[in-house]
Amino acid sequence: MHEITLLSGKGGTGKTTIAAALASVARDAVFCDADVDAADMHLILKPEILEEHRFESNYVAKIDDDNCTRCSKCVEYCRFDAIHYKPFGGLEINPFQCEGCRLCERICPVGAIHSEKNNNNFWYVSNTRFGTLVHARMGAGEENSGKLVTEVRKKAMEIAKETGARFVITDGPPGIGCPVISALTGTHKVLMVIEPTKSGLHDIERLVDLARNFEPEMFAVINKYDINTGVTKEIEKYLEENSIQLLARIPFDTVMVEAMLHEKTIVEFKPASALSKMIKEIWENVAKTAYAEVTK
Amino acid sequence: MKTNVTTDMPLKIAIASGKGGTGKTTVSVNLFHFIRQSWTSRVALVDCDVEEPNDLIFFPGAKLLSEKEATLPVPEIITDKCTFCRKCVEYCEFNAIVVIPPVKFAEINPSLCHSCGACLVACQDDAIIEKPYSIGKIRKYAVDEQAVIVEGLLKIGSAMQTSLIKIVKKEPVNNAEVILYDAPPGTSCPVVTTTADADYIILVTEPTPFGLHDLKLTVDLLRELEKPFGVIVNKAGLGNRDVYDYLEKEDIELIGEIPFDKKYASGYARGELLSHIPEKMENIYRQIVQDLKEKVSDYA
Ligand code: SF4
Ligand code: SF4
Ligand code: SF4
Ligand code: SF4
């Protein structure tokens, strides 16, 4: 079984649109939306939810005002400036600033602090017209999206193993921080969706430097390549120097947005178009290398 | 209106967007530019998108003023003093410590450590000391004598983006009258940290289903944080009208609309945002800055 993770460095390069389009041509695959912070794949895949699970993330501490002697020891120890004096006496912990380290709970001389797990996060197993989708909804302002990424990926792999699916297609998170590190850990292939802008190039260099540590096979597509053919050339050169296979150069076309407005993938919306043909070729190329490795 | 600006606290405006790629950087860079022109020259732009900072690309002439390492104190176990009691392991909520008593092994993994200090409290044998551990860089640039840009650059492989944003925001920006924070995308912790002390927040969205969906998540977050905010619709004309219906229904202020323009987009692509601003865009931004100036005087 092979996991193919779509990443982009910067957001908004068309990663999710392409992930959804690949879902509509891939056979034998389980889909995973690991962009848990701004999960959008469900807007196109229209999942019918089969299972809902709560996901407990970090702890959040709370002060019991009746027991607190206002000794201020917790304020002094909290390294995240999460404990504040209330305007009319007493102390409180700002849940958005609390890192959940529980140190205040341990040092409070009168046991006035206790912590509870945050459980504003959910993950789902759903049915879609293309196959099974594992996705999530994160509570606002939550930490630890990395752990939720790990959770949805784990579930998608399990389902792939159980059902004998050959691929997991994962829509990964933007950036290069904690959630991306979680998405890269143990994946087989990374398909980068790059926008030909100076910032797009800058971002992809940072992403490749990070991804290398995990040694996946790396592919790239340049989306909206004709927005700037000069930068596209620079990106092509960069990819070549780094032995990253460029699978397609996709032109800018408002039909991509139109398809999204109709809640369809580009392949469903304009099946005979050149864009749809490109999507199929991208998939065949990625899948081919996976099949080759399986039969090796 | 403010008269004696030097004694005032700077006004802090954060620019955020749930979805990436909506044009948050474009808007931040343009606001910086037009605030300098028609509001105050004492303005700072702080790039809090530390995973992928891009603001500086649009200021090729900016001069580097300073560069420093951003560090967090990360503990280290002195095995000679350690009694392998495992109390620190019990205290560490982030699974950053491994202690294996039979083989006298004790180690802290800096990439998992959140620098909370709990293990130091746990250890009764003085076996833990802290050392600075780099999580990235902070660079400060001058655009001219008054206007500065600060960027945070997360070290590749570090998961401490939120901590880095906190450090970046502490970087002094001399006597700025307006500080703009370019926030990272998303709705999780890093965005909360960026917007926490902002007087006003500008959300940038695009009129597509993805844009609207992520905008709603961000609006929910800001309402929970009780922060005043308004919305700029970027790439107007590209999608549909749903976002406008939503703003109206929710009584959210539309600060401005920036039309989609392929030529302008390719200027962005080349990193030339400020050299060829179409007149249409210029008028829109000037209007936005004018409105902002009037509005924020109520919040500050
Ligand atoms: S340490 Fe405990 S008693 Fe002291 S101020 Fe904090 S909560 Fe109150
Ligand atoms: S749990 Fe940690 S971060 Fe939260 S308030 Fe207590 S000491 Fe501060
Ligand atoms: S400082 Fe906190 S997170 Fe780091 S090792 Fe110690 S207890 Fe764990
Ligand atoms: S608490 Fe101190 S003595 Fe005990 S295992 Fe940890 S470092 Fe060693």
CATH code at position B25: 3.40.50.300
Last residue of a domain, one of B83, B110, B134: B134
pTM across the whole model: 0.85
Query: How far is Cα A143 from Cα B116, in angstroms, rounded to an integer?
Result: 15
- Whether residue B6 is contained in a domain is answered as no
Distance (Å) from CA B123 to ligand 4 centroid: 5
Three-state secondary structure call for residue B290: helix
Last residue of a domain, one of B102, B134, B166: B134
Q: Based on the domain organization, do B220 and B280 belong to the same domain?
A: yes
Q: What one-letter code names the amino acid at A4?
A: I
Going from the first residue of chain A to its last (296 residues), give the mean pLDDT of each consecutive group of 10, the final group possibly shorter: 92 89 92 89 93 89 95 95 90 91 97 90 94 89 80 96 94 89 93 91 93 93 91 95 95 89 92 93 88 57
- Whether residue B5 is contained in a domain is answered as no
Alpha carbon nearest to ligand 1 atom 2, residue: A108
- Number of other CB atoms surrounding residue A85 within 10 Å: 12
Query: How far is Cα B85 from Cα B82, in angstroms, rounded to an integer?
Result: 8
- For chain B, how many structural domains are there in total? 2
Q: At what angle do helices A15-25 and A274-295 cross, to 10 degrees?
A: 70
β B254-259/B229-236 pair status: parallel
Tokens of A182: 């979680």
Q: Based on the domain organization, do B111 and B193 belong to the same domain?
A: no
State which residues form the domain around B174: 11-59+143-298
Q: Which ligand has an atom closest to residue B93 CA?
A: 3
Q: Based on the domain organization, do B55 and B200 belong to the same domain?
A: yes
Instruction: State the number of CA atoms in the 13 A half-sphere of A141 facing the CB.
Output: 21
Which stretches does DSSP call E strand in B239-289? 254-259
* C-beta separation of A118 from A148 below 8 A: no
Q: Based on the domain organization, do B125 and B17 belong to the same domain?
A: no
- Whether residue B160 is contained in a domain is answered as yes
Query: How far is Cα B162 from Cα B156, in angstroms, rounded to an integer?
Result: 14
Q: What is the pLDDT of residues B220-239, one digit of tens each?
A: 999 988 899 999 999 888 88
Please report the pLDDT score of residue A120 as a whole number: 79
* C-beta separation of B127 from B83 below 8 A: yes
- In terms of Cβ atoms closer than 10 Å to its own Cβ (0-12, 13-18, 19+), residue A255 is middle
Q: What is the pLDDT of residues B29-50, one digit of tens each?
A: 999 999 999 899 999 999 999 9
- Whether residue B88 is contained in a domain is answered as yes
Q: Based on the domain organization, do B30 and B178 belong to the same domain?
A: yes
Q: Based on the domain organization, do B245 and B99 belong to the same domain?
A: no
- Whether residue B65 is contained in a domain is answered as no
- The CA-atom distances, in angstroms, between A200 and each of A175, A177, B18, B186 are 11, 16, 18, 18
Closest Cα of chain A to B268: distance in Å? 7
Asked if residue B57 has pLDDT above 50, the reply is yes
Query: How far is Cα A179 from Cα A36, in angstroms, rounded to an integer?
Result: 9
Q: Report which ligand 2 atom has the smallest distance to the Cα of A102.
A: 1
Question: Looking at the partner chain, which of A40, A177, A200 has a beta carbon nearest the beta carbon of B51?
Answer: A177
Q: Which ligand has an atom closest to residue A85 CA?
A: 1
Asked if A142 reaches chain B (Cβ–Cβ under 8 Å), the answer is yes
> Which DSSP symbol is given to A173?
P
Residue that wins the pLDDT comparison between B211 and A57? B211
* C-beta separation of B148 from B176 below 8 A: yes
Single out the residue of B238, B185, B186 nearest to residue B207, CA to CA.
Answer: B238
Query: How far is Cα B176 from Cα B5, in angstroms, rounded to an integer?
Result: 9
Query: How far is Cα B134 from Cα B72, in angstroms, rounded to an integer?
Result: 6
Tokens of B232: 């700029």
Q: What is the pLDDT of residues B68-125, one digit of tens each?
A: 999 999 999 999 999 999 999 999 999 899 999 989 999 999 888 999 999 999 999 9
- Number of other CB atoms surrounding residue B81 within 10 Å: 13
- The CA-atom distances, in angstroms, between A263 and each of A36, A130, A266, B121, B212 are 20, 14, 10, 54, 13
Q: What one-letter code names the amino acid at A126?
A: S
Q: What is the ipTM of this complex?
A: 0.79
Q: What is the pLDDT of residues B276-293, one digit of tens each?
A: 788 888 999 999 999 998
* C-beta separation of B256 from B278 below 8 A: no
Q: Based on the domain organization, do B108 and B182 belong to the same domain?
A: no
- Whether residue B2 is contained in a domain is answered as no
